[in-house]
Structure 1
Amino acid sequence: MNSARKVRARVVTSLAVALMLSLAGCSPSSTSNSTSELSTTPPANSSSDPATFFPDVEHVEVTASGTNSFDFAVTISSAYDTPEQYADGWRVQAPEGTVLGEHTLAHDHASEQPFTRTQSGVEIPEGITEVTVEGRDQANGYGGTTVTVGLPGR
């Protein structure tokens, strides 16, 4: 293989890897169990319309996927979504507030409202019978309408 072909092959490979990594940030499923927290109070420079502060969780379906492991299908509405401000994820919380799982979205869903994404393999300790799912806005943090759901088999 000559030098030009080697360079072209490396460029194509690099672009393919970059594309895969960027798409993975908003894949339909996630297994992240992050515990980061953001503010639930909108910044002073935000719109005065509370509907533009936070996304609303509209619906949550939970299925058991193993011992103490659950998969979540979460429907979020964020009618204000634009590339500049959008719903960028959600978290699954135990009744006392412990974050059990978090899903991050990499881009806006302005043309897809409401939208549903899944999170797989959220480990939930025995004894917890229900969880709350809360949406997150990239600028304002966590807030909006939450949904509390029972865990199947518990």
Structure 2
Amino acid sequence: MLRLLIILSIFLTGFLYANKADVLKVKSICSKYNSCTFFVTIKHEDTGWKHFANRYEILTPDRKIIATRILHHPHVDEQPFTRSISNVKIPKNINSVIIRAHDLVHGYGGKEAVVEIQ
């Protein structure tokens, strides 16, 4: 019985930490005034309204949030999916940003992307 409980707990732990929202690809277009548009591709095994990727964020290298794109609904049948955010003002002293995604169950923790700002 103890073995069964150990195996079950290992399985459930793996299940709970799997399926985080991953940033797969980012395309950025920036003006000479450091105003950027980001096209962010995310993969997440959305299952419905209780478990879906609900936002992504643009962060400075020291992890301060510059912008947030809210994702208002699940993308169960559209994986991976790309959504954009425009008019993101990048501080002049910042040469790169981090993009991370968030889901309702696991929060953060999936693959992030680093984008150089030109």
TM-score for the superposition, normalised by structure 1? 0.64
Length, aligned pairs only: 105
Match of 1:15 in 2: none
Match of 2:8 in 1: none
1:66 deviation in Å? 5.4
Stretches of structure 2 lacking an aligned partner (at least 5 in a row) = 1-11
Stretches of structure 1 lacking an aligned partner (at least 5 in a row) = 1-45
Deviations 1:93-145 (A, max 9, x none): 10011110110101100100000000001111001000010000022222200
Whether contact under 8 Å (1:65, 1:121) holds in the other structure is: no
* Map 1:1-154 → 2, pairs under 5 A: 48-49=14-15, 50-52=17-19, 54-65=20-31, 67-78=33-44, 80-83=45-48, 84-152=50-118
Cα gap change, 1:73 to 1:93, in 2 (>3 Å)? same
Q: What is the identity percentage for the equivalent residue pairs of Structure 1 and Structure 2?
A: 34
Deviations 1:8-40 (A, max 9, x none): xxxxxxxxxxxxxxxxxxxxxxxxxxxxxxxxx
RMSD over aligned Cα, in angstroms? 1.5
**Max Rg structure:** 1
Looking at structure 1, the residues matched to 31 and 77 of structure 2 have their Cα atoms a distance apart, in angstroms, of 31
2:46 corresponds to which letter in structure 1? Answer: D
The structure that is strand-richer by fraction is 2
TM-score for the superposition, normalised by structure 2? 0.82
